[in-house]
Every structure is written in C-alpha cells, then in structure tokens.
Chain A
C-alpha cells in the first residue's frame, strides 16, 4: 500500500491509503482518522473516512495547510502499528429481491443500461458467472457485508462483501446514472453494495428493496430517535431475503413504530478474518442468531 496525500482546494486534505479497495486499506484509514480525532487538532472541522481513503476539512485561517499535512503524516506512522480489530455490531437487514418498485424503475431507465434486454439482476448474475438469478441472489445474501463508508447522500452505507476477492460480486454502474431510485433500494456498483437511504439519482444496479428505514430526519422511527442516521463505518450487515408478505408486515410494523432490527454486538478482527474467512463468518452468524 502506498499512501498518497493531496490538497483538495485550500480547505481539504485528501489521503488515499491505496488505489484499490481492501479491508487493509479501510482499517489503516480508520486508525489514522481515529488518531486525528483523538489529537484534537485546532482548525480541523470535518473528518471523513471512506473505503480506502479519508478526507479532512480544515480552516486554513486557523492552521496552515503545510502544518496540517505534516501532522497527518506523523499520525500515519503511529497508526501503522494499530491493531486491526473493531468492536462493532452485526445487523440483519431484510431484503425483498425482485420487488415491483425497483423493477418498475429499472424498466423506466432501460436505455441507460448496458444490457437493455435484461433486468439488473439478470445482468449481474451473468456478469458474475451465475447460471440463474436465484443462485446470484443466494450468493448476495449468503455472506455478511462490511460498511466501509457512509455517505454520497445522507446516511447511505457502502458495503464490502466479506468473501474472498475471487468470489466478490462486481458489476459496472449504469452507463448513465438514473434520475430516480426508490428509497431503500439495495444497489451494487463496482465491488460495493449500498442501501439508498433516500429517493433520488443513482447509478448502481438495483437488486431489491428493504422495508427498514435507515435515515429519518424527523427522528420518529424508534431506533432512529437518538440519531437520524442508522449506519456507521465498521457495521456488519447480513441480508435476509423476504417475500412480499413479510415486506408488508415489516412496513406496517415500522409505521406503527414497533419494528426493531435484529442487532448483536460483535468483535471483528481483520487478521482472524483473513486467516479463516468462512469460520469468521460462521461465528458472526452464530452471534447474530444467538446460537
């Protein structure tokens, strides 16, 4: 990994751990941003980690850009020695695959797609070497995913699949972004999955939809009362396939404010994960289901 520093105008410093995505890059970025936060450097106004990089926003009237750059470089050296372990949580997110709403939307934007003759799921299944959409859907929800970034729009998680790189789902984004995506769409672009937190533009392939809100600016949803954004970097997600009936039942529960997502505390250790991916995932599942 080769760390690269750059200014983004006169108010930002951008630091990339590595050109390519990996959990190693994520963990390194996280340790440096934790160290930056702990250092309480005057003049820093925002610390934004993202996948394999991060960005600092600062006020150049309070700290000279070169001085801040120097501070960050020295923190990088300290962070190199940090443990790659995270106390976090695993969350079960219900997904209604091939739902009517994303299906309607993908049909509306077919001329922006690489393969107008297929649905997004059919295209993604073929691109990843699966014979059927069912097999592809199974691969999508069989293993957990890791939230490696929150952003783009309010509260949207980027998810990195916790499997060997050769098994990770990869799919191109739409040729031209859609102007519309249903709220709560489960999307995928490059190697990243996402949940669209709000309705709006988007370029990721659409696989399904969740009835579980993940952003609520009114803070009325029971589990979003304390803070309007549900996900944070380091969260682990397990998709749970559901059908129309369960989708409607959860939607009703959310409306009645009695839906509580299944959440369990877990420890994620990168070295243990790399040493035994299937074993780590199995232990994550056992924690989630209380076995």
Chain B
C-alpha cells in the first residue's frame, strides 16, 4: 500500500506531531508547523489525530495512488483535484487506485496538510515520523519527497468521522496578522525605546521563512543598553554566551531583523532573545506567506494562558464536530 510521487511540489515533507525529548541534544521536535490543520486533516480521514501526513509548502505535489483511500486537505488554500476533478478543502474525499491527486495554485496560507486514510507509514525515528531535514532524520529517508518516491501507507482504521470541518472551525491567514508575544529572556538588553518600537512598528514576513524560523523586516533597528560584553559572549551587543532557544523565541541578530524560531528550531546559539511568541499563535506563523504584514502584540502570562485555553476549546469543538 503506497502512493507514488509524480511531482513533489516545492517542499513536501512527512510530518506528524513531532518528537519531543531530544532538544537537549540539538534535535528539535519538528512536526507540522500548523498542528491544528494536521489534526483536522487526520480526523477527516479517520486517522488518529497525530498520524503522519504530508506538509506541502506553497505548491502541492502530484501523487498517484496504488490503493483506494480517503484524503483530506486542510491548512493553506491549495485546491485539490482527483484526475482533474476539483474537491473542496477541509472535506474528506475518495481517491481510487490508479487515480492522480494534484493541486491548483495556492490561493491563501502557506502550508497545506494532506492526510490519507491509514496515515503515512515510513519508519519512525526517535518516536516520530516527522522529517527533520537538517539532521536527515525521520520522514522519507530523512528528506523532502522527490519524484519517483514510493511512500508507504498504513492500514486504514475501521471507523469514520464526520466528513467536513464546519466553516467556523477553519482558519485562514489574510494579508496581515497579529502575533502575541510574552516579553522576557534577554529583553533587558534592549533600550526602552527599542522595546516600544518593536510593538509599534509594522513588520513583514521576509523571504527567509522556513521550518526553522521566520524572519521579519520593516521595523526600526534595535538599540541596546550600554554594557560591557560578558566573557565568552562575543563583541556585538546582540551576542550572549550561547544559550538555549525556546520554540517561538525571538532573536534579533545584529539588532536588525527579528527571527521567530519554529518547529525545526536550532536549540541554542549566541544571539539574545527578547521573548517568545505564545504557544497559541505558533500554528498561525506556519500559514504566513512572505510579505504578510505582522504586528507583534505584547501580552502577559495570564493572557497567554487564556489564549492557550481558547485554542484548546477550538480543538475540542473540532473533535466534537468530527466525532
């Protein structure tokens, strides 16, 4: 049971909910950038929420199926076709053996999740099938899909869920977005003015935006509080003694362009971080295209936890809708 990759698209990888537990060795959790969309796609085709699916960036792949399967596409607005026939997003549809699944051009968002009944059955690495490309770990031979690959599928479950995600539970990203940030970490290294500017300025997603991190441009450069650089830190005021980086943490190398680390984060390094995007907004980043306008919004821990509870509520409603 498998499908054949006729055309891989731009960058299509196998992802599940990731491999926590190895960040202390520099191996990030990886997994779907938009975890909510991955869960939705899996539930639609009768898979466990955390089954491995495909994450396709900006462009869809072209896949030929060897077996009958149920497929769902969520996340980015990337219209699917089966042998040329269009199928709606966030909705389960059948693909029969011998048919070809393909995609139109991207209409919105950045990453589409393609779940297939039975889930993708590549061998797990350190407890997960997620692809960590830099470390050549997991997924399909530790790399993105390529033309000619035969990707194995698991045995579909006997149960079926609802077949369509209600409109209100689908998320898309428009031309602009807000990312909520809890200030902290090395915040104290920047001046009060730089801290104010960071939240006041309009930023745009830079072309360097990938699974490791998203870079932003357009705001004013950062200024630093004067200090003598501590031993081992390096001479630039944005340097620190190499330390761990939280997922979602925001570093500003050289004080110019903030980078928000994502699922394939480097686990540490020598640039100061000024805080982190809250967990509730991480999925959103995965759906932002380059040039998306962004404002960073300051929140405190209470607000961060409230937002997290809202996200959990949305996920509970999704599960209920598809039960």
Q: Which residues of A are at the interface with B, using a C-beta cutoff of 8 A? A: 6-12, 14, 16, 18-22, 45-55, 57, 60-61, 65, 149-156, 158, 165, 170, 172-173, 177, 189-192, 197-198, 200, 215, 217, 228-229, 232
Q: Which residues from A are CB-within-8-Å of B278?
A: 9-10
26 A-B residue pairs with Cβ-Cβ distance under 8 Å, sorted by A, are A6-B187, A7-B184, A8-B273, A8-B276, A9-B276, A10-B304, A11-B247, A14-B246, A48-B24, A48-B244, A48-B268, A49-B24, A50-B243, A53-B243, A60-B308, A151-B23, A152-B266, A153-B266, A154-B25, A155-B27, A165-B231, A177-B253, A217-B135, A229-B26, A229-B27, A232-B25
Choose from B21, B136, B312 the contact partner of A45 (Cβ within 8 Å): B21
Q: Which of A7, A189, A232 has the largest count of B CB atoms less than 10 A from its CB? A: A7
Q: Are A173 and B270 in contact (CB under 8 A)?
A: yes
Q: Which residues from A are CB-within-8-Å of B166?
A: none
Q: Are B134 and A158 in contact (CB under 8 A)?
A: no
Query: For window 282-314 of chain B, which residues contact chain A by CB distance below 8 Å?
Result: 301, 304-305, 308, 312
Q: Which residues from A are CB-within-8-Å of B243?
A: 14, 16, 50-53, 55
Shortest C-beta distance, A5 to chain B (Å), equals: 10
Q: Which residues from A are CB-within-8-Å of B197?
A: none
Given known contacts A10-B279, A49-B24, A152-B266, A21 and B246 CB-to-CB distance under 8 angstroms: no
Q: Verify if B125 is at the interface (C-beta below 8 Å from A).
A: yes
Q: Verify if B137 is at the interface (C-beta below 8 Å from A).
A: yes
Q: Which residues from B are CB-within-8-Å of A9?
A: 182, 184, 246-249, 275-279, 304
Shortest C-beta distance, B269 to chain A (Å), equals: 6
Q: Which residues from A are CB-within-8-Å of B268?
A: 48, 50, 149, 151-152
Q: Verify if B148 is at the interface (C-beta below 8 Å from A).
A: no
Q: Verify if B20 is at the interface (C-beta below 8 Å from A).
A: yes
Q: Verify if B142 is at the interface (C-beta below 8 Å from A).
A: yes
Q: Are A152 and B134 in contact (CB under 8 A)?
A: no
**How many pairs of residues, A versus B, come closer than 8 Å at their CB atoms?**
183
Choose from A47, A52, A190 the contact partner of B239 (Cβ within 8 Å): A190
Q: Are B26 and A50 in contact (CB under 8 A)?
A: no
Choose from A8, A14, A20, A54 the contact partner of B230 (Cβ within 8 Å): A20
What's the Cα separation between A177 and B212 when bound, in Å? 15
Q: Are B244 and A14 in contact (CB under 8 A)?
A: yes
Q: Which residues from B are CB-within-8-Å of A11?
A: 246-248, 279
What's the Cα separation between A154 and B23 when bound, in Å? 9
Q: Are A60 and B246 in contact (CB under 8 A)?
A: no
Q: Are B26 and A150 in contact (CB under 8 A)?
A: yes
Q: Are B26 and A8 in contact (CB under 8 A)?
A: no
Shortest C-beta distance, A149 to chain B (Å), equals: 6
Q: Are A22 and B249 in contact (CB under 8 A)?
A: no
Shortest C-beta distance, A228 to chain B (Å), equals: 8
Q: Verify if B86 is at the interface (C-beta below 8 Å from A).
A: no
What's the Cα separation between A215 and B134 when bound, in Å? 12
Shortest C-beta distance, B239 to chain A (Å), equals: 7
Shortest C-beta distance, B8 to chain A (Å), equals: 21
Q: Verify if B207 is at the interface (C-beta below 8 Å from A).
A: no
User: A55's closest neighbor in chain B, by CB?
Assistant: B244
Q: Are B301 and A65 in contact (CB under 8 A)?
A: yes
What's the Cα separation between A54 and B270 when bound, in Å? 14
What's the Cα separation between A46 and B233 when bound, in Å? 25
Q: Which residues from B are CB-within-8-Å of A200?
A: 134
Q: A51-B241, A151-B26, A172-B235 are in contact. List 16 more A-B contacts (CB 8 A).
A: A8-B275, A9-B247, A9-B276, A45-B21, A48-B244, A52-B241, A57-B20, A60-B279, A60-B308, A151-B267, A156-B26, A165-B231, A170-B232, A172-B236, A189-B234, A191-B232
Q: Are A48 and B267 in contact (CB under 8 A)?
A: yes
Q: Verify if B225 is at the interface (C-beta below 8 Å from A).
A: no
What's the Cα separation between A173 and B142 when bound, in Å? 30
Q: Verify if B192 is at the interface (C-beta below 8 Å from A).
A: no
Given known contacts A11-B279, A190-B242, A198-B134, A6 and B25 CB-to-CB distance under 8 angstroms: no
Q: Which residues from B are CB-within-8-Å of A156?
A: 26
What's the Cα separation between A66 and B189 when bound, in Å? 24
Q: Are B249 and A8 in contact (CB under 8 A)?
A: yes
Query: For window 190-210 of chain B, which residues contact chain A by CB distance below 8 Å?
Result: none
What's the Cα separation between A233 and B249 when bound, in Å? 23
Given known contacts A8-B246, A14-B243, A19-B241, A190 and B276 CB-to-CB distance under 8 angstroms: no
User: A65's closest neighbor in chain B, by CB?
Assistant: B301
Q: Are B25 and A229 in contact (CB under 8 A)?
A: yes
Q: Which of B23, B235, B268, B270 has the largest count of A CB atoms less than 10 A from its CB? A: B268
Q: Are B142 and A155 in contact (CB under 8 A)?
A: no
Q: Which residues from B are CB-within-8-Å of A48?
A: 23-24, 244, 267-268
Q: Are A189 and B270 in contact (CB under 8 A)?
A: yes
Shortest C-beta distance, B190 to chain A (Å), equals: 14
